[in-house]
């Protein structure tokens, strides 16, 4: 939870220019007529033992990014290094040996568990696949995992339907832990759970992280939960990372107009704060990733859009050490100044840089 | 909020039971509330707490069997709508009460155009001509902020985004100028920036049209932003109810208190660990003779197991169903308990 200077940490995951385009087939010949650019050139690192939160709205490419990083999809382009090795190009057999180290926990605990397998069978499945342990040793490990995630051992022979959502998510987490992974992609692990159960699962994930030194990529659209669990946060919009920063900087000094709008839209469970708040209400809907707008992909909804934004894609710059943002307001403050209305950001940038120096 | 005004909707002791293979499910157990003209009542509670079944019971929308509305009165426009005939009830649903449900994809009919779905209630309930209905439909779509409304009348639901479909659902619910709008988790399936658009719209419509609204959600933040009063449900019952500021500032029920504490904050220092409510929601399969929150309550004591707490007034138009006194952090004294 504490923000150690990043230079002291070892990078466990390094992703560069990752693209995942899904072909759109059309016509009688089912030829490719276009592509859904679900993930369109993202780069980020995840340091050992940290939690990188990934936020953004439905369809912006969070799950696709998570799956591509684990090579559950064959990426269209880019490199993915996990523990120094480029897994995007590893041959299947070598990749299989690496699989135990990287796992995934899914959103819908109901759909991701085989209804015809017992809890012990589900948790033990990765052991069957990747070890040649005998039954006794496997069962001991299954019990150990059930203890770790707070499931009663007596439930080992029950089927998933007999469990609540929170318990099913614990089963999914136990299975993900079976082979002592180092890196886990958690894709909306609490989205299907009730508020009162979400906190139980998040606490469990944090305890397990401390206990086993796990590294998480935590995908969620719940900005307040991400603020709680993440060390750094990446904000995605339409297949791209628009901003990435340590959690406190991102929430207290967002630089990208989309991040500002997203944070301001979160309802505050305190009526006095809630009504005082200046909410930025964005107009319109998210464009289709099959046909993203020219220039900055946020230009169709951005309250601060300038002429340059409709022409040129903003590049990602490190505005302040560790704080990355892709917006012309930041990368071309002069241009922004000329079109007016951005004096405030300009000054804000200066003071922020001052703070860090 | 006009205090003391005659309620537009007055629900008393509503009880709904489902017959299932494993026995009766007491989904709604003696729920009472009212709704005053022009106010917004927020209803919160986790899934299965009875929010939807309460609203569907009073609109006669539950299939029977398995559902049975076992008792209660629902006064609307001077009569008990639980006692009226099917024909009159359909009229109530179309004209007097509008409703919007969670998933606009399943509630809009995919095979009819949006224009048809908007015009139908106008022609049926208000006897408008085709042309009148179309003009009114355009007005309604404009009211809920759909650009290029006239052209879009001919579009099918799948041609709209999730947020726009939700706007269309609201437009349909508003078509006949109802006195009451019931919205059941209408923004749950939406993204936060789209949810913010819908919440702004509702605030604006309330001011323009002055109707009374029941807004169901599991998000306390949404309630804090739009409601005048809030009703917290747990295990098929009303756990706590009162003006929204009062309930958030002085939550009295252990469930409300715990719920407010488990939510991570968007400001200030982060908690090292989230507070949790241990355990699971109740099954509702037995007739509740104990407090439904007992198994998860940090303050439970012997009386909670013997007696399901009734709602008691704690001042400032605020009431709570609990044997524990949050002001003294102790069980109610014998005198208070018998009062
Ligand atoms: N197999 C696929 N074929 C074609 N398009 C796809 C495929 N998987 C995802 N997409 C598209 O890619 C985009 C990103 O999808 P993704 O599932 O990554 O979104 P997400 O950010 O995880 O959204 P959510 O918050 O709704 O889970 C969407 O437009 C989606 O429709
Ligand atoms: N058709 C049904 N048959 C049996 N039980 C039902 C049925 N519909 C709802 N219930 C039960 O009624 C209770 C309240 O449900 P509901 O009102 O939908 O909750 P909420 O809207 O608060 O999430 C739950 O215990 C639920 O399982
Ligand atoms: S580049 Fe332009 S359109 Fe894009 S976020 Fe920045 S100001 Fe808005
Ligand atoms: S009545 Fe008892 S068990 Fe129920 S909420 Fe109050 S203290 Fe807890
Ligand atoms: Mg997803
Ligand atoms: Mg419901």
The pLDDT, as a whole number, for residue B209 is 85
* Rg of the Cα atoms in chain B: 21
Strand order in the sheet with A11-26: A31-47, A11-26, A77-82, A85-86
The pLDDT, as a whole number, for residue A352 is 38
Confidence band, pLDDT 50/70/90 cuts, at residue B105:
low
Q: Is B167 in the pocket of ligand 4 (CB under 6 A)?
A: no
The pLDDT, as a whole number, for residue B167 is 86
Using the atom order of ligand 3, give the atom closest to the CA of residue A242: 5
CA of A236 to the centre of ligand 5 (A): 12
Mean pLDDT within B210-231: 91
- Nearest 10 degrees: CA dihedral of A176, A225, A258, A294? 10
Q: Residue B131, Cα to own-chain centre: how many angstroms?
A: 35
B250 to chain A, closest Cα gap in Å: 12
Q: Is B291 in the pocket of ligand 4 (CB under 6 A)?
A: yes
**What stretch of H or E contains B31?**
strand B23-35
Q: Is B296 in the pocket of ligand 4 (CB under 6 A)?
A: no
Among the partner residues A200, A228, A262, nearest to B276 by beta-carbon distance: A200
Q: Is A113 in the pocket of ligand 1 (CB under 6 A)?
A: no
Among the partner residues B196, B270, B272, nearest to A265 by beta-carbon distance: B196
Query: Is B34's pLDDT higher than 50?
Result: yes
The partner residues of A13 in beta bridges, in order of sequence, read A46, A82
CB-based burial of residue A303 (10 Å sphere; 0-12 exposed, 13-18 middle, 19+ buried)?
Answer: middle
Could you give the CA distance from residue B86 to residue B59 in angstroms, rounded to a whole number? 11
* Residue A195 contacts B, CB cutoff 8 Å: yes
Per-residue pLDDT reduced to its tens digit, A144-188:
999 888 888 888 998 888 787 778 888 999 999 999 999 999 998
Query: Is A356's pLDDT higher than 50?
Result: no
Query: Is B237's pLDDT higher than 90?
Result: yes
From chain B, pick out residues whose CB is under 8 angstroms from the CB of A269: 220-221, 223-224, 248, 260, 263
Q: Residue B158, Cα to own-chain centre: how many angstroms?
A: 27
Asked if residue B24 lies in contact with residue B285, where contact means CB atoms within 8 angstroms, the answer is: yes
Query: Is B263's pLDDT higher than 90?
Result: no
Compute the mean pLDDT over every residue in chain A, rounded to the nearest whole number: 86
Q: How high is the ipTM of this complex?
A: 0.78
The pLDDT, as a whole number, for residue A338 is 44
* Residue B195 contacts A, CB cutoff 8 Å: yes
Could you give the CA distance from residue A57 to residue A236 in angstroms, rounded to a whole number? 8
The pLDDT, as a whole number, for residue A331 is 87
DSSP of B179-221, one letter per residue? SEEEEESTTTTS-HHHHHHHHHHHHHHHHHH--EEEEEES-HH
Could you give the CA distance from residue A250 to residue A265 in angstroms, rounded to a whole number? 15
Confidence band, pLDDT 50/70/90 cuts, at residue B146:
confident
In chain B, pLDDT over 90 holds for what percent of residues? 52
Cα within 13 Å of Cα(A267), Cβ side: 25
The pLDDT, as a whole number, for residue A234 is 98
Confidence band, pLDDT 50/70/90 cuts, at residue A123:
very high
Whether residue B263 and residue A224 make contact (CB cut-off 8 A), yes or no, is yes
Could you give the CA distance from residue B182 to residue A65 in angstroms, rounded to a whole number? 38
* Residue B163 contacts A, CB cutoff 8 Å: yes
B224 → chain A, closest CA residue: A271
Whether residue A269 and residue B276 make contact (CB cut-off 8 A), yes or no, is no
Least confident of A10-14, A42-46, B18-22: B18-22
How far does chain A reach from its first CA to its final CA, in angstroms? Answer: 23
In chain B, pLDDT over 70 holds for what percent of residues? 95
Asked if residue B284 lies in contact with residue B264, where contact means CB atoms within 8 angstroms, the answer is: no
Q: How many CB atoms lie within 10 A of CB B269?
A: 7
* Chain A stretch 261-280, residues whose beta carbon is closer than 8 A to a beta carbon of chain B: 261-275, 279
Q: Is B308 in the pocket of ligand 2 (CB under 6 A)?
A: no
Q: How far is CA A77 from CA A40, A81, B172, in A?
A: 9, 13, 46
Per-residue pLDDT reduced to its tens digit, A18-38:
999 998 887 777 888 888 899
The partner residues of B205 in beta bridges, in order of sequence, read none
* Residue B266 contacts A, CB cutoff 8 Å: yes
For helices A119-130 and A165-177, the axis angle rounded to 10 degrees is: 20
Closest CA to A62 of A290, A220, A262: A220
CA of A171 to the centre of ligand 6 (A): 26
Whether residue A224 and residue B197 make contact (CB cut-off 8 A), yes or no, is no
Query: Is A342's pLDDT higher than 60?
Result: no
Could you give the CA distance from residue B213 to residue B202 in angstroms, rounded to a whole number? 9
CA of A59 to the centre of ligand 5 (A): 7
Q: How many CB atoms lie within 10 A of CB A211?
A: 10
B186 to chain A, closest Cα gap in Å: 15
- As given in the structure block, the two tokens for residue B315 are 């001042």
Q: How far is CA A291 from CA A36, B173, B179, B256, in A?
A: 8, 33, 43, 45
Closest CA to B258 of B273, B243, B276, B240: B276
Whether residue B164 and residue A269 make contact (CB cut-off 8 A), yes or no, is no
Asked if residue B50 lies in contact with residue B257, where contact means CB atoms within 8 angstroms, the answer is: no
Strand A11-26 to strand A77-82: parallel, antiparallel, or no bridges (unpaired)? antiparallel
CA of A45 to the centre of ligand 5 (A): 20
The pLDDT, as a whole number, for residue A344 is 41
From chain A, pick out residues whose CB is under 8 angstroms from the CB of B266: 223-224, 227, 251, 263, 266, 268
Mean pLDDT within A271-280: 72
The pLDDT, as a whole number, for residue A345 is 42
* Residue A2 contacts B, CB cutoff 8 Å: no
More confident site: B119 or A30? B119
Mean pLDDT within B211-236: 92
From chain B, pick out residues whose CB is under 8 angstroms from the CB of A206: 273
Mean pLDDT within B136-140: 93
Could you give the CA distance from residue B314 to residue B336 in angstroms, rounded to a whole number? 11
More confident site: B131 or B189? B131
């Amino acid at each position: 939870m504490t923000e150690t200077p990043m230079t002291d940490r070892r990078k466990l995951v390094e992703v560069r220019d990752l693209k995942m385009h899904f072909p759109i087939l059309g016509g009688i010949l089912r030829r490719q007529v276009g592509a859904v650019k679900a993930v369109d050139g993202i780069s980020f690192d995840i340091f050992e033992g940290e939690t990188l939160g990934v936020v953004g709205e439905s369809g912006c490419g969070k799950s696709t990014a998570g799956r591509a990083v684990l090579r559950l999809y064959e990426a269209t382009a880019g490199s993915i290094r996990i523990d120094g090795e480029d897994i995007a190009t590893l041959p299947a057999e070598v990749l299989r040996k690496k699989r135990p180290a990287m796992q995934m926990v899914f959103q819908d605990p109901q759909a991701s568990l085989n209804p015809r397998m017992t809890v012990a069978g589900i948790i033990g499945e990765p052991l069957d696949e990747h070890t040649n342990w005998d039954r006794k040793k496997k069962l001991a490990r299954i019990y150990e995992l059930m203890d770790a995630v707070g499931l009663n051992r007596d439930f080992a022979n029950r089927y998933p339907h007999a469990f609540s959502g929170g318990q099913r998510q614990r089963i999914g987490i136990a299975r993900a832990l079976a082979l002592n992974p180092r890196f886990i992609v958690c894709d909306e692990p609490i989205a299907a759970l009730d508020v009162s159960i979400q906190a139980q699962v998040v606490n469990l994930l944090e305890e397990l992280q401390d206990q086993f030194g796990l590294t998480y990529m935590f995908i969620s659209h719940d900005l307040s939960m991400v603020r709680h669990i993440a060390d750094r946060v990446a904000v995605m919009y339409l297949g791209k990372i628009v901003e990435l920063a340590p959690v406190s900087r991102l929430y207290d000094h967002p630089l990208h107009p989309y991040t500002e709008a997203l944070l301001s839209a979160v309802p505050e469970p305190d009526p006095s704060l809630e009504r005082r708040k200046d909410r930025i209400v964005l107009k319109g809907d998210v464009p289709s990733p099959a046909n993203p707008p020219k220039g900055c992909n946020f230009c169709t909804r951005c309250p601060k859009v300038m002429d340059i934004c409709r022409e040129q894609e903003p590049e990602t710059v490190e505005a302040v050490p560790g704080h990355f943002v892709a917006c012309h307001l930041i990368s071309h403050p002069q241009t922004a100044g000329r079109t007016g209305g951005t004096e405030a950001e300009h000054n804000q940038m200066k003071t922020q840089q001052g703070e860090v120096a | 909020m006009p205090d003391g005004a005659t309620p537009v909707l007055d629900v008393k002791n509503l009880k709904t039971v489902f017959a299932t293979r494993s026995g009766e499910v007491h989904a709604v157990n003696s729920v009472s509330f009212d709704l005053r003209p022009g106010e917004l009542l927020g209803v919160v509670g986790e899934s299965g707490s009875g929010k939807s079944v309460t609203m569907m019971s009073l609109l006669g929308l539950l299939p029977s069997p398995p559902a049975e509305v076992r008792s209660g009165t629902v006064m609307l426009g001077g009569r008990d709508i639980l006692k009226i005939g099917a024909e009159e009830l359909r009229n109530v649903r179309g004209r007097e009460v509008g409703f919007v449900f969670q998933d606009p994809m399943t509630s809009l009919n995919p095979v009819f155009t949006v224009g048809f779905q908007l015009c139908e209630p106008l022609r049926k309930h208000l006897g408008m001509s085709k042309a009148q209905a179309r003009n009114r439909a355009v007005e309604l779509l404009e009211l809920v902020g759909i650009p290029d409304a006239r052209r879009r009348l001919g579009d099918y639901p799948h041609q709209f985004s999730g947020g726009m479909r939700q706007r269309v659902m609201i437009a349909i619910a508003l078509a006949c100028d109802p006195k009451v709008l019931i919205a059941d988790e209408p923004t749950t399936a939406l993204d936060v920036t789209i949810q913010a658009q819908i919440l702004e719209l509702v605030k604006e419509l309330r001011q323009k049209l002055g109707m009374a609204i029941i807004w169901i959600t599991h998000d306390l933040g949404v309630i804090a932003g739009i409601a005048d009063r809030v009703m917290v449900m747990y295990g098929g019952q009303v756990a706590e109810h009162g003006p929204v500021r009062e309930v958030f500032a002085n939550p009295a029920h252990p469930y409300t208190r715990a719920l407010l504490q488990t939510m991570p904050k968007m400001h200030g220092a982060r908690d090292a660990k989230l507070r949790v409510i241990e355990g699971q929601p109740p099954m509702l399969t037995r007739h509740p003779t104990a407090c439904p929150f007992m198994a998860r309550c940090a303050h439970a004591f012997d009386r909670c197991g013997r007696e399901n707490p009734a709602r008691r007034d704690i001042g400032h138009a605020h009431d709570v169903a609990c044997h524990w006194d949050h002001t003294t952090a102790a069980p109610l004294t014998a005198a208070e308990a018998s009062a």
